[in-house]
Amino acid sequence: MAKGEMKYSDFVEVYEELYATTKRLEKETILAGFLKKLAKEGEPEWIYLLRGKVTPDYDDRILGLSDKLAMKAIGKTFGIKDEEIAKRYRKIGDIGELAEEFAGRKRQTSLFARKLTVEKVFSNLRKVMEVEGKGAVTGKTALISELLGNASGKEAKYIVRMLVGQLRVGVADATLREAIAEALFPEEKQEMGKKLEVAYDMANDFAIVFEAASKGKKELDKIDIVVGRPMNVMLPVKVTEIGEAFRICGKPAAIEHKYDGFRVVINKIGNDVKLFTRRLENVTNQFPDVVQTIKKFIKAKEVILDSEVVGYEPKTKRQRPFEAISQRIKRKYDIEKLEKELPVEVNVFDIIYHNGESLMQKPFSERRKVLEKIIPYEKWKIRLSMQIVTDSEEVALKFYNEALKAGEEGIMIKNLNAGYQQGRRVGYIVKMKPAANDLDFVITGAEYGSGKRGGMLTSYIVACREGEKYLEVGKVSSGLKELEQEGGTTYEEMTALLKPLIESEKGKVVKVKPKIIVSVTYQNIQGSPSYDSGFAMRFPRITNYRPDYHLKDIATLDDIKMEVEKAKKGMSHLG
């Protein structure tokens, strides 16, 4: 086979194999075999297709077509009336299988269809994503029809699944990384797996990592942080007492307030400022005030800063809870108005890049020195995070209590000698805050309210994560009323967020694609047959909508088991 001529059916074969197993190791082996072939194609971007994407992970554009539009395209391709499509869809219940059925029928009659190449599929899908504005629907439909018209049944199934953003072959980023290691470095799989993880955290782009790895270890080492592109941040582990914090971080350690705001990674190249969340979303447009502050007060030419952006009441200057500022993240219009109603202050706590040099490997104490030089104190606009350095538990606890009195969430304890390591792996930073029974879950279902809240989804089924599956842990119907009163997420907003994600409806109950993440407090968790996790929360209440969280951040089944164990031992969150 000539280079670049790979057939889409090769991908489909792999999808089918991946779909047939839930075992991670088996998936790795399947992928590794395929990646060896793919590495020879010289088209590293095609690797995105294995995760149902046509862009790197840091790119926040998605395919995510509605089922309705996908049905339209299927109908148009095969000349079938809307009603018939809708009828079959109700019967089959899966848009991919619907496409498979119609494409399969057609193949028997038209034997002259061309074989689909990966290149064609990739480039059309990318165009589908990019077409915008007037005539977008027609443009998208034509691109899709061109693919479906030449696709076999199985090919059509996966093309359509990809289009609606539900490939469902379950390839987590870790699985793909391990598979690259197995395919390209079978002798040193473990060591290279770690290297690939570091490289991936910096690039957030499988094409870059895969291409470098195909060329060898040295190329992989060259992958570095790039100013202006989103990156994964360093995350803390949790402790409940100060001794443990020092054991993890060493003595002396730096201790800072844990601000209750919103994590923003600030990128500046000359006069160009970009802001990203920890979920790699670009929020530059939502925070023109922060952009202005950075342009005005940061003299360095090129920097990447890690910060917590905190909202405050314009009159009283009282700090607002995270939920209030999350309004600003979501808002795409009336930004100026919101900027005045909800001003923010940037608390800078780390630096990753400075004037042409990556500081990732430098100890935190040195990074802090650079920060002290370049971050001015501009009240209500920008400041360095409050910090002390101590080896005394007593001093640390005093600082902790003061932080709580000042209305902060708690403290962060940081290893002074450690580099900036992305992810939650190492425990270079640690958080300590008063315990609360609080976990983050994803909404997988909802129920319509009645009376005044008739058209709105007002109670929510929430789920934890087990590998790539989502298991229900309860139904939450309280919390949003309080949030509304505090200026947070309203029932209407939650309904608007969930409606496009609806997958099926039965009476008042809907199932939704797992996407919307919420923090939930509860009294306790008990074993229960009512939900498929085997556990249920008592008295759950939503405390926050977390648009800044990623699905991988939510509570896992193991987290829940741990909570249950802790509660049994009577040491659950007495703090």
Which residues are tagged catalytic?
258
Question: Which residue number, 157 or 257, has a Cβ lying nearer to ligand ATP?
Answer: 257
Residue pointed to by tokens 């087990």: 466
Question: Which residue number, 148 or 411, has a Cβ lying nearer to ligand ATP?
Answer: 411
Interhelix angle 8-19/118-130, nearest 10 degrees: 80
CB of 429 to ligand ATP, least distance (A): 6
Asked if 256 is part of the footprint of ligand ATP (rule: CB under 6 A), the reply reads yes
Question: Which residue number, 89 or 420, has a Cβ lying nearer to ligand ATP?
Answer: 420
x/- mask, ligand ATP, residues 424-463, rule CB under 6 A, reads -------x--------------------------------
Asked if 201 is part of the footprint of ligand ATP (rule: CB under 6 A), the reply reads no
Stretch that binds ligand ATP, among 251-259, 371-379, 509-517, 555-563 (CB under 6 A): 251-259
Whether the CA torsion 532, 439, 465, 479 is positive or negative: it is: positive
- Restricted to residues 283-322, the positions that interact with ligand ATP (CB under 6 A) are 308
x/- mask, ligand ATP, residues 341-380, rule CB under 6 A, reads --------x-------------------------------
CB of 47 to ligand ATP, least distance (A): 29
Type of residue found at 246: F
What does the block give as tokens for 28?
């790795």
Asked if 258 is part of the footprint of ligand ATP (rule: CB under 6 A), the reply reads yes
CB of 348 to ligand ATP, least distance (A): 9
Q: Which residue is nearest to ligand ATP (CB)?
A: 263
Pairing mode, strands 344-354 and 272-276: unpaired
Asked if 541 is part of the footprint of ligand ATP (rule: CB under 6 A), the reply reads no
**Residue (of 46, 54, 33) closest to 6 by Cα position:** 46
x/- mask, ligand ATP, residues 265-284, rule CB under 6 A, reads -------------x------
Give the number of other CB atoms < 10 A from CB of residue 120: 16
Question: Which residue number, 1 or 406, has a Cβ lying nearer to ligand ATP?
Answer: 406
Asked if 543 is part of the footprint of ligand ATP (rule: CB under 6 A), the reply reads no
CB of 368 to ligand ATP, least distance (A): 11
Round to whole Å and give the CA distance between 4 and 480: 52
| CB crowding 457-484: b at 16 or more within 10 Å, else e | bbbbbbbbbeebebbbbbbbeebbeebe
Asked if 259 is part of the footprint of ligand ATP (rule: CB under 6 A), the reply reads yes
Question: Which residue number, 153 or 236, has a Cβ lying nearer to ligand ATP?
Answer: 236
Contact 452, 524 (CB under 8 A): no
539 three-class SS: coil
Pairing mode, strands 357-358 and 541-545: unpaired
Round to whole Å and give the CA distance between 28 and 174: 10
535 three-class SS: strand
Pairing mode, strands 509-512 and 524-527: unpaired
CB of 386 to ligand ATP, least distance (A): 8
Give the dihedral of Cα atoms 185, 190, 195, 197; nearest 10 deg: 110
Question: Which residue number, 236 or 540, has a Cβ lying nearer to ligand ATP?
Answer: 236
Round to whole Å and give the CA distance between 357 and 367: 12
x/- mask, ligand ATP, residues 390-429, rule CB under 6 A, reads ----------------------x-----------------
Contacting residue, 107, 263, 425, 475, with ligand ATP by CB under 6 A = 263
- Restricted to residues 219-238, the positions that interact with ligand ATP (CB under 6 A) are 235-236
Kindly give, in sequence order, each residue whose CB lies less than 8 Å from that of residue 312, ignoring residues fewer than 6 positions away.
318, 319, 320, 343, 344, 345, 380
Question: Which residue number, 122 or 287, has a Cβ lying nearer to ligand ATP?
Answer: 287
List, in sequence order, every beta strand (DSSP E) within 449-506.
457-466, 469-476, 502-506
Q: Does an H or E element contain 138, and which?
A: helix 136-149
Question: Which residue number, 106 or 258, has a Cβ lying nearer to ligand ATP?
Answer: 258
Bridge partners for 239 per DSSP: 432
Q: How many residues does the structure list for the chain?
A: 575
Residues that bind ligand ATP (CB under 6 A): 235-236, 256-259, 263, 278, 308, 349, 385, 412, 431
